Structure 1
Amino acid sequence: MQLDERDKQILKLLQSDCRISNADLAEQVSMSASACWRKIRALEDGGVIEGYRAGVSPQAVGLGFQALVHVQLARHNPEHLTDFITAVKTRQEVVDCYATTGQADYHLRVLCRDIAAYNDFLENFLFRLPAVESAQTNVVLREIKRSPQVPV
């Protein structure tokens, strides 16, 4: 989908405040409300807008422990790989998962209540997956920048 300048303006505004009314959004991009609504629908239908979300503070909901886990797989056969990916997708502690190049095969961002909950995650989940050879943990000491926004 080819984006024009108005599309980009709409995306920037929606990323900053997805609760903005269509009327206010239309006014800020100098469009009629109906034309703006049609553009938004086209962006949704085209897969550019994936959804609308509320930002939630992990600490405010009792998830004060955050780690980046670098996972190396022992077995790269398709069955073990599919099982690993399926298992990771089902765990709510894993909020992000990336397949990468470099020393680790996967990088996970994991949120837990505390170190004991994280240890349970490792021992009773991650290390029980047949594909996992090893995992290195980097504990997040403080968050410098976290942005759900995509530069448009």
Structure 2
Amino acid sequence: MTTTALDRIDIKILNELQQNASLTNVELASRVNLSPSPCLARVRTLEKLGVIDRRIAVLDPAVLGIGVTAFIQVKLERQAQPSLESFTRSIDRLSEVMECYLMTGDSDYLLRVMVSDIDALEDLIVNKLSRITGVSSIRSNLALKRISHKTVLPIDANRPVQVKSCSSASRRLDRPAKQRFDASSQAQIDGGMNLETSRIFDHGTARL
């Protein structure tokens, strides 16, 4: 693994693409004061280094009817490596999970999920998350309103950045096929604002 220094022009390119990834090479070159050919070479180098992971479209969830955001704390029965890996694979199958973090503190994982409504959130918790092997408790809180949301990383063009290059293939995870879940349990909704589900597993039998 090698280390490469990004200069001010590289960082300007990254900041422009973070704001608008649909810029043509000619438009990008003009914004960073380069001619098109060296600008394209720099972009390709940034892609090869893995600094530019991929280019995506950011959609408006409200327009698409995805109106509920919740933060869910998950605790596992044990923190052995096989349990952690199994949970990670299961979470990766759930399209509703936008982000998943391994945490310190009382919970093992913190999830940010987005769904269409409360019923969809209940279905996600009761029929999907709680059925993942090894899950011992689930606590969730609804977000009332999004105050700030950013996708642009804070890169300072006045400070050189050192990056460690690695192949894009080594950074990608194989995503398993989506798993089907069946419904059987009920979740408890408190006042329509806070939802908490705790599950205790006893010899393979779940009890709310």
State the distance in 2 between where 1:106 and 1:70 align: 6
**Higher-strand-fraction structure:** 2
Deviation at 1:130, TM superposition (A): 2.1
Deviation at 1:60, TM superposition (A): 1.3
Question: 2:90 matched to 1:87?
Answer: yes
Question: 2:134 matched to 1:103?
Answer: no
Q: Once the two structures are aligned, what percentage of the paired residues are identical?
A: 36
Structure 1 residue runs without a partner (length 5+): none
Aligned-partner SS, 1:104: coil
Q: 2:18 corresponds to which residue?
A: 15
Q: Which runs of 4+ in 1 moved over 3 A?
A: none
State the distance in 1 between where 2:36 and 2:118 align: 50
8 Å CA contact 1:70–1:135 kept in 2: the answer is yes
Question: 2:56 matched to 1:50?
Answer: no
Q: How many residue pairs were aligned?
A: 152
Aligned-partner SS, 1:148: coil
Aligned-partner SS, 1:109: strand
State the distance in 2 between where 1:126 and 1:28 align: 46
Q: 2:41 corresponds to which residue?
A: 38
Aligned-partner SS, 1:61: coil
State the distance in 1 between where 2:35 and 2:23 align: 15
8 Å CA contact 1:68–1:108 kept in 2: the answer is yes
Letter in 1 for 2:137: S
Q: 1:140 corresponds to which residue?
A: 143
State the distance in 2 between where 1:95 and 1:122 align: 15
Question: 2:24 matched to 1:26?
Answer: no
Structure 2 residue runs without a partner (length 5+): 156-208
Deviation at 1:77, TM superposition (A): 2.1
> What root-mean-square deviation, in Å, do the aligned CA atoms of Structure 1 and Structure 2 show?
1.0
Q: Which moved more, 1:96-105 or 1:114-123?
A: 96-105
Q: 2:204 corresponds to which residue?
A: none
State the distance in 1 between where 2:105 and 2:152 align: 26
Q: 2:118 corresponds to which residue?
A: 115
State the distance in 1 between where 2:140 and 2:130 align: 13
**Higher-helix-fraction structure:** 1
8 Å CA contact 1:76–1:131 kept in 2: the answer is no
Deviation at 1:80, TM superposition (A): 2.0
Residue-by-residue CA offset, 1:75-103 (whole Å, 9 max, x unaligned): 22222221110010010010111112222
Residue-by-residue CA offset, 1:9-48 (whole Å, 9 max, x unaligned): 0000000111111111111111110000000000000000
Normalised by the size of structure 1, how large is the TM-score?
Answer: 0.95
Normalised by the size of structure 2, how large is the TM-score?
Answer: 0.71
| Residue pairs, 1:57-68, within 5 angstroms | 57-68=60-71
State the distance in 1 between where 2:59 and 2:68 align: 15
Structure label with greater radius of gyration? 2
